[in-house]
Amino acid sequence: MKKEFHKENRELLYDSMDPGSLAILFSGHAPRKTGDEYYPYFANRSFVYMTGIEQENSILSAHKPDKSTEETLFLLPSNLLEERWTGKRLTGTKAQDISGVEHIKYIQEFKDFVNHLVQTNQVETLYLDFDKLTEDEPDSDAYKLASYVKSRYPFIRIRNLQPQIRKQRTIKRPCEIEAMKTAEQITKAGIVAMMQSSKPGMYEYQYKAEFDYTLANHGVLAPGFPSIISAGENNFCIHYYSYKGLARDGDMILNDVGACFDNVINDVSRGWPCNGKFSEKQRLLYECAYATSNYMFHILKPGIPMKDVDLTARKFNFEQLKNIGLCDKYEEAGKYIWHGGAHHVGYDVHDLVSPTENMITAPGMVFCVDIGIYCEEWGIGFRLEDNCLITETGCENLSAVTPRSIEDIEAVMGKR
Ligand SMILES: [Mn+2]
């Protein structure tokens, strides 16, 4: 992303802040795995959204005394010995180029910087990104700073930036849509590679290898989230990550995967028969999901409560299952329809939205339309998941580039 994108994101954030305030965002750092080994570092998504910086232990500070805001980026200092082992660190100039933040300092100066602002009465309110999902998570840097400030300066008001950041991230900018479309082409290439290598006797890890290899050939070295790739009975585990199962003749393959391009993620699911030809029962069920998904893309537009999206899909999907005689009463739908999936997608595969908001669909939102059918008595389970962009007048299926109709899937697989 260009630095203008990040600058505009920050401007919107600062507009939401009170005068006499200070906002602090952290890039985070990798937790230790075992011995002296660390998990791969993954920069805090909101930090990247606001700065474009993906280096460990970076901090963005925004001081807003009145109307204007003074920004400072704190970075790890250059250390030639450490850099021999871990690679070059960002220089101040490079960080300015990426983020558009003018003032650069080193992280050693951070605490003094905050103390000085507070002690000279320049800060009444401190904004932090409190992003715990559960209470028992270890404290992130934001929580640690809040504890420090509370104990030293109990008169400071502390506020959570999270609702505002979530609100902003929910509406995608044109450059994010472009990145998502590029990612969709790469996701498509990965899924088509799996379809075209598919055959009975293939292991799930071999499908995964095809997907990862194709992404890597497009410069995408890690998928946007851990891929779900399963065969046959394993499709009945919604979040399956073992990859050890074998595809037997007549099995469906399920995948729930996505490439990431320029920090924007896809989330796409397809199901196909490993032998390339839908059986009668597979066809029956797939047509139900396909009709439901098409219906959703037909009706989705601005102004619809998000909570109705999954409900509408569920009701329509139930009608399809009823038409083929699989269930009779809506109350029985849960036997076959195990989940919804209308979650926003973007910098995270599950872009969190503010829980207090009764969200209404609006132009620029991108969320998944995820239609799953799990029929254990027939041994068939799969889902059809696409990425829906809400436009001014309706919606667009961004992942329509990946084969999704029975005809298209069989045609692609016929080219093996
Ligand atoms: Mn998914």
Tokens at residue 76, please?
A: 């790890």
Q: What is the pLDDT of residues 152-211, one digit of tens each?
A: 999 999 999 999 999 999 999 999 999 999 999 999 999 999 999 999 999 999 999 999
- The reply to whether 186 and 154 lie within a common domain is no
**Residue 229's CATH number:** 3.90.230.10
In a shared domain, residues 260 and 382 = yes
Ligand 1 ion local residues (Cβ < 5 A)? 256, 267, 385
Whether the pLDDT of residue 350 is over 80: the answer is yes
The pLDDT value given to residue 415: 86
Return the percentage of the chain with pLDDT > 70, whole number.
Answer: 99
pLDDT over threshold 90, residue 58: yes
Q: What is the pLDDT of residues 202-227, one digit of tens each?
A: 999 999 999 999 999 999 999 999 99
Q: What is the pLDDT of residue 357?
A: 65
Tell how far the Cα of 210 is from the centroid of ligand 1, in angstroms. 18
Q: What's the full length of the chain, in residues?
A: 416
CA of 272 to the centre of ligand 1 (A): 16
Is pLDDT above 70 for 311?
yes
Identify the band that residue 391 occupies on the pLDDT scale cut at 50, 70 and 90: very high
* DSSP 8-state secondary structure symbol assigned to residue 268: E
In terms of domains, do 270 and 333 share one?
A: yes
What is the pTM for the complete model shown?
A: 0.95
Ligand 1 mean position to 155 CA, how many Å?
45
Task: Name the residue range of residue 367's domain.
Answer: 171-414
Q: How far is the CA of 68 from the centre of ligand 1 (A)?
A: 41
CA 245 – CA 203 distance, rounded (Å): 6
Q: Are residues 348 and 398 in the same domain?
A: yes
Residues forming beta bridges with residue 329, ordered by sequence position: none
State in Å: Cα 256 to ligand 1 middle: 5
Distance, CA 313 to ligand 1 centroid (Å)?
16
- Centre of ligand 1 to C-alpha 346, Å, is 12
| The two three-digit tokens of residue 240, written as one number | 């399956």
Same domain, 326 and 228: yes
Q: How many domains does the chain have?
A: 2
* Ligand 1: centre distance to CA 39 (Å): 23
CATH value at residue 125: 3.40.350.10
* Interval between CA 415 and ligand 1 midpoint (Å): 26
Q: What is the whole-number distance in angstroms between the Cα of residue 41 and the centre of ligand 1? A: 23
Measured in Å, residue 56 CA sits from the centre of ligand 1 at 28
Say how many Å lie between the CA of residue 262 and the centre of ligand 1. Answer: 19
Q: Which two tokens stand for residue 25?
A: 């965002």
21 with 89, same domain?
yes
pLDDT grade, residue 61 (50/70/90)? very high
331, 322 contact by CB (below 8 A): no
Same domain assignment for residues 113 and 233: no
CA of 354 to the centre of ligand 1 (A): 20
- Shared domain for 193 and 340, answered yes or no, is yes
Of the chain, the end-to-end C-alpha distance in Å amounts to 37
CA of 394 to the centre of ligand 1 (A): 22
Distance 28 CA to ligand 1 centre (A): 26
The overall average pLDDT reported for the chain is: 96
Residues 118, 184 within the same domain: no
Same-domain check for residues 155 and 252: no
My answer on whether 278 and 382 are in the same domain is yes
pLDDT tens by residue, 314-349: 999 999 999 999 999 999 999 999 998 899 999 999
Q: What is the pLDDT of residues 366-381, one digit of tens each?
A: 999 999 999 999 999 9
Q: Is the dihedral of CA 357, 359, 362, 366 positive or negative?
A: positive
- Rounded to the nearest angstrom, the distance between the alpha carbon of 179 and the centre of ligand 1 is 18
- State residue 352's pLDDT score: 81
Is residue 17 scored above 80 in pLDDT?
A: yes
324/350 Cα distance (integer angstroms): 33
Residue 355 has pLDDT above 90, yes or no: no
Examine the domain organization and report whether 186 and 333 are in the same domain. Answer: yes
Residue 290 CA, ligand 1 centroid: distance in Å? 16
CA of 269 to the centre of ligand 1 (A): 6
Number of H helices, E strands in the chain: 12, 16
Residue 76, C-beta contacts closer than 8 angstroms, at least 6 positions apart:
55, 56, 57, 58, 89, 90, 106, 107
Ligand 1 center to 35 CA (angstroms): 33
Residue 356 has pLDDT above 80, yes or no: no
Distance from Cα 229 to the centre of ligand 1, integer Å: 11
Final residue of a structural domain among 138, 168, 198:
168
The residue from 129, 153, 168 where one domain ends is 168
- Taking a C-beta distance cutoff of 8 angstroms, is the pair 103, 63 a contact? no
Final residue of a structural domain among 149, 168, 187: 168
